[in-house]
Structures are given as C-alpha cells and as structure tokens.
C-alpha cells in the first residue's frame, strides 16, 4: 500500500489522461472523509453538491459526503471541461467508480 497512490486506476482511453486528470491519493481520501465527519459533528447538512468534473474533485466530494453520512446529487457542469485539456470521465464512468447511491447530473 502506497498512500501517495490510489489502489487502482479507473480505465481511461489514453494513459496520458491519468496525468492530466489524476485520481485522489489515499491521503486525499482520508482527509476528505475526516472533513465530512467534522461537518456531520457540526450539524452541517447538504442537499446538493456542485463539483467540477475533474476526477479528483468528484472523488473528494463523494468521500466528503460519505464521511458526513449523507447522499447528494452531483451536478457536473461539462461546459467547464471544454476549456481544460484533459478528457473527463463520463457520468457512466463516474458512476462505475463511486457508490451507486450517489447520482450524477449535468447542468
């Protein structure tokens, strides 16, 4: 186990996409979970979570909501990604690597 690396990489069309749109590390997942637990202890409740379509951003939001014990709907504004070089994961791919109880929607 290397905490600077994810345990596995999602399937991508081109290996270079991992460089341009990298996944969150194990440490990043731990920090997001810890923040989610802190939100829960403070009584913070989420109804919607808007997140960038970048993989590490989606993973951070998913883990934060898991840590908070909440389920949210992610609105991934794909129009943002047309101005950045990496190819983003599709909604179907995002569903495949996250908990199925969390929904993804385009703005």
Is the confidence at residue 100, as pLDDT, over 50? no
Q: Does 4 fall in a domain?
A: no
CA distance 3 to 90: 26
Total of domains in the chain: 1
CA distance 56 to 45: 22
Q: Does 3 fall in a domain?
A: no
CA distance 72 to 5: 26
Q: Does 41 fall in a domain?
A: yes
User: Can you give the CATH number for the domain in which 54 is found?
Assistant: 3.40.50.1240
Percent of all residues in the chain with a pLDDT value above 70, rounded to a whole number: 66
Q: How confident is the model at residue 75 (pLDDT cuts 50, 70, 90)?
A: low
CA distance 87 to 67: 28
DSSP string across 57-86: HHHHHHHHHHHHT---EEEE-HHHHTTSSS
The residue range of the domain holding 27 is: 16-106
Q: Does 2 fall in a domain?
A: no
Q: Find the farthest-apart pair of alpha carbons in the chain and give their distance in angstroms, rounded.
A: 42
DSSP string across 17-37: HHHHSPPPPHHHHHHHHHHHH
Look at the block and give the residue holding tokens 């070089």: 85
Per residue in 32-64, pLDDT tens? 999 999 999 999 988 878 787 788 888 898 899
Q: Does 1 fall in a domain?
A: no
């Amino acid at each position: 186990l290397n905490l600077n690396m994810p345990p596995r990489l999602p399937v991508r069309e081109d290996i270079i996409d991992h460089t341009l749109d990298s996944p969150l590390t194990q440490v990043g997942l731990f920090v997001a979970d810890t923040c989610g637990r802190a939100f829960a202890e403070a009584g913070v409740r989420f109804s919607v979570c808007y997140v960038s379509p970048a993989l590490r951003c989606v993973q951070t939001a998913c883990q934060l909501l898991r840590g908070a014990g909440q389920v949210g709907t992610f609105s991934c504004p794909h129009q943002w990604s047309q101005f950045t070089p990496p190819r983003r994961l599709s909604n179907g791919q995002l569903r495949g690597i996250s908990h199925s109880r969390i929904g993804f929607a385009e703005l």
